[in-house]
Structure 1
Amino acid sequence: METSTAAPVTTTSAGLRYGLLTGLVSIIFTFILLATGQEGNGGLASIAFVILIVGIVLAHRAFKSANKGYMSYGQGLGIGVLVGGINGILTTVFNYVYRAFIDPDMAARTMDQMRAKLEAAGSMSEAQIEQVVNTSMKYSTGAIGLAIGIVGGFFVGLVFSLVIAAITKNAKPEFE
């Protein structure tokens, strides 16, 4: 008689699996935005948050189904932070590679778009606009941009998970 022992689904395994899947979907979505020239479209870009939320919910569902329907708030929070962090790492590295090697002129176009929007608003002087654009360029490219993107991924995962875990949790009864 053979017994099959499947590896138990832990918070780490669920977070990693769904973080990788969510990151892959986010990269594909980001590439579509970049390829169609829609990277500045805030409405479409907000779909990235929907992708992350769906990834966290699916990770919670998978964890609960492998654990007899139970998941504590802390487990849900941990899974969500891991999904957000892995997603953030993958999409940040993809964006860096895309901007550095595939389309190196993209950063300049983005800064030109920012400059045009700030000039159209008319609430800043030319010197202030130049300072904002230079600061944005400094913090959105290179090692600083990578670090901010990765930390931001974990932070966004935390913020979304605080709410999602409260909704999807199903704590195991204490006296069972």
Structure 2
Amino acid sequence: MTETTETQDLTTRSTGIRYGVIYGVIGIVYFLIFNLADLDMSKGIGKYGTWLIGFVIVFLAHKYFKENGNGFMSYGQGVGISFWIGLICSVLSSVFTFIYIKFVDSGFITKMRETAIADMEAKGQSEEQIEMAMKFVDMFMSPGAMLAFGIIFGIIGTIIVGLLVSIVTQKPRPEPAI
């Protein structure tokens, strides 16, 4: 008679994948809301809202892991969950963004480029400085580059969030008394 319970099947990977999908879907909806409302996600509530959502998702994933497991979570397990969240979320949202930019809204990159130029002009940069900066920016503003950097920086960002959140959410297993 073998019984499999959820606690036996619960791993950092399974928890991270579950919450990575949730975070990815939320990220896609967040992107669409901001883009359709013609708001800039790189400033203000767009930027800080993304980080806040990340902290909440990682916190909820850690809580889920402890409540549905054995009640404990080491610091390393917390960071491991965060890695899986970052990987899954970044792949989902970056692939969506790639498809969106490549096939749905081809003017998205042009709009981002114009915003970058306007920001540099507002800072008082010369035409020569702007031209030189835009050569560098253009290397990273293709759908393929945005896909790759979205995945890489999404994973790194979520691991950083996980490093911070795990400090608070960890609950190490007590050492047995000798």
Q: Same fold (TM over 0.5)?
A: yes
Deviation at 1:41, TM superposition (A): 5.9
Deviation at 1:142, TM superposition (A): 3.1
| Equivalent position amino acid for 1:58 in 2 | L
The answer as to whether partners of 1:60 and 1:168 remain within 8 angstroms in 2 is: yes
Q: Does 1:51 align with 2:53?
A: yes
Deviation at 1:62, TM superposition (A): 0.8
**TM-score of the aligned structures, taking structure 2 as reference length:** 0.90
Q: What RMSD, in angstroms, separates the aligned Cα atoms of the two structures?
A: 1.9
| Equivalent position amino acid for 2:115 in 1 | Q
Residue number in structure 1 paired with 2:115: 113
Q: 1:24 to 1:119 in 2, by over 3 A?
A: same
Correspondence 1:84-123 to 2 at 5 A: 84-122=86-124
Give 5+ residue unaligned stretches, structure 2: none
Deviation at 1:2, TM superposition (A): 9.9
Identity, % of aligned pairs? 31
Counterpart-to-counterpart distance in 1, 2:61 and 2:41: 30
The answer as to whether partners of 1:96 and 1:141 remain within 8 angstroms in 2 is: no
Counterpart-to-counterpart distance in 1, 2:122 and 2:40: 19
Residue number in structure 1 paired with 2:158: 157
Q: 1:145 to 1:2 in 2, by over 3 A?
A: closer
Deviation at 1:39, TM superposition (A): 2.8
3-state SS in 1 of match to 2:17: helix
Q: Stretches of 4+ moved more than 4 A in 1?
A: 1-4
The answer as to whether partners of 1:107 and 1:137 remain within 8 angstroms in 2 is: no
The answer as to whether partners of 2:101 and 2:143 remain within 8 angstroms in 1 is: no
Counterpart-to-counterpart distance in 1, 2:19 and 2:167: 19
Counterpart-to-counterpart distance in 1, 2:168 and 2:141: 34
The answer as to whether partners of 1:92 and 1:149 remain within 8 angstroms in 2 is: yes
Deviation at 1:130, TM superposition (A): 1.4
Residue number in structure 2 paired with 1:26: 27
Residue number in structure 2 paired with 1:67: 69
String of CA shifts for 1:109-146, please: whole Å, max 9, x gaps: 11111111211211x22122012123212213232222
**TM-score of the aligned structures, taking structure 1 as reference length:** 0.91
Counterpart-to-counterpart distance in 2, 1:90 and 1:146: 10
